[in-house]
Structure 1
Amino acid sequence: MKPEVRSITLLVISLTTPVLILASIGEERPDAYVAVEILAYYIVTIIDPLIRRIAKLTIIDLILMLIFIAIVIYRVMEII
């Protein structure tokens, strides 16, 4: 299997699995899905940096980090 195909397959599996798990436990909050997907994306790109090199995802990385920070701040403010 080509390294690019392996990387994309790993990314797809890693992004699909959390959605299936959250749906199976009955999670209804969209922000939970988004936050978990962003974390899964970062974990995969850390484990397999080929994805980052192929797509040059620096702008997407910044946008996703800002969205994740906004979600965390929103949830913390709800608790406080």
Structure 2
Amino acid sequence: MIKIGLGVFIFLIVGALLIISNNNLHLIKKDELDTFGRLYYSWISNIFHNIKTITGYVTLENWVPKNPVKLKNISISQ
């Protein structure tokens, strides 16, 4: 669980650094700090929107096989 949290944290930090560098922002200035906040919030919102869209497509997909699967010669060993 710690690895997942660390991965998410690194992803968010790298995203913030990319926003700062791509928009040539200097976070010392208040107006550029506000711009960063708006861009970062927009980026996070787009991530959640994309996750929601992908989840919707996945749930609508027919995951049942067209041909029935016949299982034979299966043994469960202890």
Indicate the structure whose relative CO is greater, using CA pairs within 8 Å and at least 6 residues apart.
1
Question: Is the TM-score greater than 0.5?
Answer: no
- Shorter chain as denominator, the TM-score bin is 0.3 to 0.5
Q: TM-score, normalised by structure 2?
A: 0.37
Greater fraction helix: 1
